[in-house]
Structure formats: structure tokens, C-alpha cells
Amino acid sequence: MDIVRQMYKDKMIQKVVCFIFEAHKGQKDKAGVPYVFHPMHVASSVGEDRDYILTALLHDVLEDTDRTLEDIRNLGISKQVQEALVLLTHDPQIPYIEYIHSLKDNPICAAVKKADLRHNMDLGRLETIKEKDRKRKEKYREAYGVLTEEDVTKL
């Protein structure tokens, strides 16, 4: 999916892209790249359904910024996307793998989380790979296996 082309066609996607640029302003990913490129990448990997794209763009906002569900509601985001975003927001009190299992039955959450995990497992984005990066990838690989119910040793 060409997310930039989609922005030209869809005013809500335009609005959400502007929102995430502001919400993630000043944040960097583990490779030192502006964080906003991560949700853009995830959104480009979930197909052409608008709700999937919007969820992907917003998937880290509640967890990693000071923006609230109310802020997202005020954008005019559908209830279906809001519900997916709440599910995708990991409560640190819940074990990670239990959280992953909770996403399996929601098709939007499962698709967005799989795209998120694929991007996060791409260690080629990092200048140097440390042991903690390898461990994180292994954790994500296990999560991906839960969501796909397949052997992911080759990822």
C-alpha cells in the first residue's frame, strides 16, 4: 500500500498522519530515526482497508505519547478503530504473551500487530546489533508465531 498516495485520496488519513507527526514529535526509534516512520511503515503493510490503515497509523499513540483516547475520538475515528487501539495498547501489568493472545481474534489488531512485529524484528535497520536486540527479536518472533499459528524460526 502506498500510504502517501492514500493520503491524497482520504481526508481522514491526512488528518491522522498530521496527528501522529505531532504526537510522536521528537521521538526516535531504536535506529535513531524519527519514530513517526514506524507507524507509517506499519500502515503501508496492512493492505488497503481504511480502518486497518488508521489503526496502524495510530497503534502506538496511546502507549507511547501523552495523547488520549478522547483525543483520538475527537478526530472522528470510528468505534471499530478505537476498540482496536485500546486492545493494541499493552498494559504492563499483563504479561506480554497473554496480551498477544488477546489480539488474535480481532482481525484488525492481528493484522496491525503482525505488521508491527515484522518491522520491529528487522534488525537490519540497526547500525549495531546487541544481545538485547536479539532477545527482543526472539520475543517478537514468539509473538508473531502466536498470531500466525505457524513456525517462525526463519524470521
The yes-or-no answer on residue 64 being catalytic is: yes
The yes-or-no answer on residue 142 being catalytic is: no
For residue 1, the model assigns a pLDDT of 55
Q: Average pLDDT, stretch 46-54? A: 95
Query: Residue 154 carries which side chain, given as an amino acid letter?
Result: K
Predicted confidence band of residue 6 (pLDDT cuts 50, 70, 90): confident
Q: Average pLDDT, stretch 72-77? A: 97
Report pLDDT digits (tens) over 86-143.
Answer: 999 999 999 999 999 999 999 999 999 999 999 999 998 888 999 999 999 999 999 9
Single out the catalytic residue among 49, 63, 91, 138: 63
Cα 150 to its chain centre, rounded Å, is 21
Cα torsion at 95, 65, 37, 104 (round to 10°)?
30
For the chain, what is the mean pLDDT?
Answer: 92
- State the Cα–Cα distance between residues 143 and 136, nearest whole angstrom: 11
Whole-number Cα distances in Å, 42 to 52, 55, 92, 111, 140: 10, 10, 22, 10, 15
Single out the catalytic residue among 10, 29, 51, 64: 64
Predicted confidence band of residue 33 (pLDDT cuts 50, 70, 90): very high
pLDDT surpasses 60 at 155: no
DSSP letter, residue 127: S
| Predicted model pTM | 0.92
Burial (CB < 10 A; 0-12, 13-18, 19+), residue 95, is: exposed
Predicted confidence band of residue 30 (pLDDT cuts 50, 70, 90): confident
- Entry field: residues in the chain: 155
Query: Hey, what's the cell of 35?
Result: 519514530
Predicted confidence band of residue 151 (pLDDT cuts 50, 70, 90): low
For residue 35, the model assigns a pLDDT of 97
